[in-house]
Every structure is written in structure tokens, then in C-alpha cells.
Chain A
């Protein structure tokens, strides 16, 4: 019979469940597919009195993020969630949240941006927001969504960080797929996240009136941006520390970059979010045939773990980079940044870019198999090196 370890939930409900256990002071959100279920489920928790959260219904995502900024500036734990065009509508406020150093947590059910209208999963929304100053975590499956939410709070509120964190998961592919999730107990989460740390007082305090966000021209704007850069540089060690602590407490191991069967691999496939589960199955299948292939999964895209990824990739013969977003007229995001990170080495592996799964197109085992075949050819001949492919496009 059941050990009761698991609950069956889709990725959206997983996010809502983690939010319930965190029980933030304020949630302000506006529904958009495929994020809707997150805030719908969370609003049920509010209506049932299962959380103490002040739930602010707003008229747009722009207002949702503005309300979160205001709440966090007043010293409240604030959370929201969105997707695609909703994230786009938040745009200017994303930058403000980050530059005010407000540790807001936002779930993103990654979805293609219009046009044409498409409600399915790709990373064009989050990749567009990559320079907004937010930390970005990525989640392969619902379990990782859950654990990322809990860890995101610790990362965001760490005294060296104090930055907003975005927890990404693939729209529909995980957000609407029921999977096994092993949650922590409410008490474990409560103990783990604890009360707001003393340094998180908010920006506004009685008795010490200040003005936030006034005109900041040529005299100081540059220095303030430099501070954001400096803060971002402190994030990776904090994520590492949080992940190690999480492992010690709950025996769940996460790394900034997950390596799968990579130790003796000649070739690897690199990518983020749900596709990497399928890649791992492919790796197992090919390993049985004696193909020395592995998988590399960055779980953090901002800050970009440039030294870590370069050091991991430098010894392989051939590398395929999967991007679920394009950068029209340039290189795809993960590919571009990986290339830049590798430049410091004189000897570099052959690398090829694959854009896949735009608008939720299924990235099948067969398609990924063609990537592996390309790698096998490229590792000896260099054929395809530095070229850009669109996987399965007609």
C-alpha cells in the first residue's frame, strides 16, 4: 500500500502548494494561461483561510508587479506568477523591482510570446527578461518546481543577495502535467524559511524618511547600476550554499549545473527545463549501445554560471546546445553565452546550436536522436561546428 510520500499534482498546483507553505504576506497577480491555475489555486487557499496572505486582485500584470514592488518596499514577503505576454507587460516594473533590491518571488509558466498567439511552452518570455536584473531558476519537472520555490525564498532574502527571483517551468509541458511530487511538511517549510531576516526591513521605515526611485542622472545612475552588478556576482555562491544546506536538511541534491553521465562522456547535450528529462532517457538508451554521451542542465541562467559551464564543457569533444527561444538575427541565448564563456580556453570542443520546441512543439526522442547522431559525426570531423540548426522545423 501507499507510503504516502507522493502527491499527484501538476506543475501549476505544485507552485501554488509551495506558495501556500511559504504563506507570503502579499500576493498580487493577474491570470494568464498557462499560469492561471497557479493563482486560481492559491486564491482558493486564501478563500479557505489556509494562508494569512493579503491577496491583491489587480487589473493587469503591470499592476501586479507594481503591487509586489510596493509590498516588498514596505517590508513584506511578496509573490506573484505570470507567463508570456503577462511577463512582457510587467517589463518596466521588473527592472524597478531588481534595482530596488526587492526579494520578490515570481513563478513563470514559460510560454511563447505573441504573435501569432500561442499559449504553449517556450522560453521566449523569460529569455527576453534575462537582462532585467532578476535571478532566474529553471525546473525540469514538478519536483524541481517545488524545491526551487522553497529555495528561491532563501536565495532572494539572503543578505548578500536581496534580489528578485524568477522560478521558471515549461508551460503546459510541466505546468499542466500531473507528476509525483514529494513535498516537505508545512512545519519543515516553516522552520526552513523562518521569519524574515533582520536585514529585510523594507525600504520605508518610520522615523527615517527617505525617497525611493527619484531622478538619478549622470551623477549617480552608473554607480547604482554597478551595485546591481556587484550584487549579482554574489548570487552563485549563495545558491550553492542554499542548495548544500537544502541537501543536508532534506536529502535533496541540486547543483547550479546538473551533470548526467558526463564524467566519461565524449559528447553532451546541454539544455534547460523539461526537455532535459527526455534527454536523460536518450542518454540511457545510447549508453546501452556504448555511445559515450551525457547531459548538462544549467538550473540557473541569471546570473549565468559562466566559469562553471566553461569548466564543465571544456573537456568534451562535441557539445549540442538546446535553446527553447530564438534571438532573431543573432545567436540563441544559452548558445551565445556558452560560446562567450568558452572563449577563455585555447582548446575548445566543437559546438552546435539547436533551437527547438518553439510554441510548444514536441521535442521528441526521435528529434533528440538526430542531435546525438550529429554529435557523433561532429566529434571526429568537426562537421556542423558553430552552425545553427532548427530542430524539426518544416
Chain B
């Protein structure tokens, strides 16, 4: 059980946290891992804060509870940064990936942390998304950053699944743009 890797996404309705978590699950399944992806459901409203969870493991996952002490926190909307109690919510030596146009030192000042040791990463996923997709859907870029940081999923696995998921609805052009966003994020994510 200790081998289950847990992730909490902090986002707002409409930013694609849920889609990101599902894509992550798809990519992990492509690597023959066991996964869960599920949102914490409140009333669903565009713009309202929400949490989405992932579990990834080499063995079947049986837990059916919310994730309460993840290994990894993804903050897809930086305006939520002050509201998260990282000290209580994240495991010792946990990792945090923040979608931000600031550098790590600047965002650290805004974060509630304490004695625990964390690794913090910054990625301007919104800028990457605006550049390649022309709108603010940062989840694809976030996945690129996650892949780089953790090595849990590979870029080619994510690409394969983007292709399978988007091809009929959006076509090759949109997929190409998503892949560019993914690759830029992979290169740009910084500790």
C-alpha cells in the first residue's frame, strides 16, 4: 500500500483539473499501472475552487477514500495558493507544482508551510497554454511538468493518449498544439 502515489489537484471549475487527472490516469494505464482519478464533488460551478485526486500504483488500488496526505500537490490556479495548508496536507518530502508566472522564491513567500521538507516547482502553464492553444487550459502543460518532475509517466505515453482522446473531436492540428504545450512545459518546469 505504501507504494501508492497520491496526487491532489487544486483548481477551479473550468480550468480542466478533472480532465488533467483523467489524462494522467490514461497515460499511467498505458504504462500498465493501476490508477484512480476522481473529483471531490461539491456543487459544480464554473470558477469555484475544487479538488481532484489521483492514485497511481504498480498493484491494484482498493482504497475508496478521499486523498488526505498526498505525495504531490498540483496548484493549477495560483490564486488558491494562500488557502492551502501544505504542512497539514502534504507528506514529508512531498512535491508541489504551481502554475505561476512567478519564480519559486516568490511563490514560497505566499505558501503556508512549516517544518516539513517540500520540493517546490514553478511552471507558467497558463502562458504556455495561451501561446500554443490560444486559451487558458493549463492542464496539458501541467502534465508535461509532472512527467518531468516525477518520471512516473512518459511524454510519449501522454502524447499517445492525447491523440486517441482528441483525434475524432478536434483533429490533428489541435493535437499538435497540445503536444507543443506538453513539450514546452517539460522543458520549462523549474525547481
Selected from A176, A277, A280, the residue in CB contact (under 8 A) with B38 is A176
Contact between A278 and B41, CB atoms less than 8 A apart:
no
Please report the C-alpha to C-alpha distance between residue A85 and residue B105 in the assembled complex, in whole angstroms: 52
B interface residues (Cβ-Cβ under 8 A, vs A): 1, 21-22, 25-26, 29-32, 34-39, 41, 60-66, 68, 157
Please report the C-alpha to C-alpha distance between residue A172 and residue B65 in the assembled complex, in whole angstroms: 11
Please report the C-alpha to C-alpha distance between residue A332 and residue B180 in the assembled complex, in whole angstroms: 56
Q: Which 6 A-B pairs have the closest CB atoms?
A: A277-B62, A177-B38, A178-B37, A274-B64, A2-B30, A8-B29
A interface residues (Cβ-Cβ under 8 A, vs B): 1-3, 5-8, 10, 119-120, 140-141, 170, 172-174, 176-180, 274-275, 277-278, 280-281, 284-285, 362-365
Please report the C-alpha to C-alpha distance between residue A274 and residue B64 in the assembled complex, in whole angstroms: 6
Please report the C-alpha to C-alpha distance between residue A363 and residue B66 in the assembled complex, in whole angstroms: 9
Please report the C-alpha to C-alpha distance between residue A1 and residue B30 in the assembled complex, in whole angstroms: 7
Prevailing SS type, chain A contact patch: loop
Query: Which residues of chain B come closer than 8 Å to A10, judged between CB atoms?
Result: 38
Contact between A278 and B62, CB atoms less than 8 A apart:
yes
Contact between A285 and B1, CB atoms less than 8 A apart:
yes
Contact between B22 and A362, CB atoms less than 8 A apart:
no
Q: Which residue of B lies closest to A368 (CB)?
A: B65
Please report the C-alpha to C-alpha distance between residue A178 and residue B165 in the assembled complex, in whole angstroms: 15
Question: Given A2-B29, A180-B60, 6 more contacts at CB 8 Å?
Answer: A1-B31, A2-B157, A177-B38, A178-B35, A277-B62, A362-B66
Query: Which residues of chain A come closer than 8 Å to B29, judged between CB atoms?
Result: 2, 6-8, 180
Contact between B62 and A176, CB atoms less than 8 A apart:
no
Please report the C-alpha to C-alpha distance between residue A277 and residue B157 in the assembled complex, in whole angstroms: 29
Please report the C-alpha to C-alpha distance between residue A140 and residue B137 in the assembled complex, in whole angstroms: 34
Contact between B63 and A178, CB atoms less than 8 A apart:
no
B16 to chain A, nearest CB (A): 15
B38 to chain A, nearest CB (A): 4
Contact between A281 and B62, CB atoms less than 8 A apart:
yes
Contact between A281 and B1, CB atoms less than 8 A apart:
yes
Contact between B1 and A178, CB atoms less than 8 A apart:
no
Query: Which residues of chain A come closer than 8 Å to B32, judged between CB atoms?
Result: 2-3, 5-6
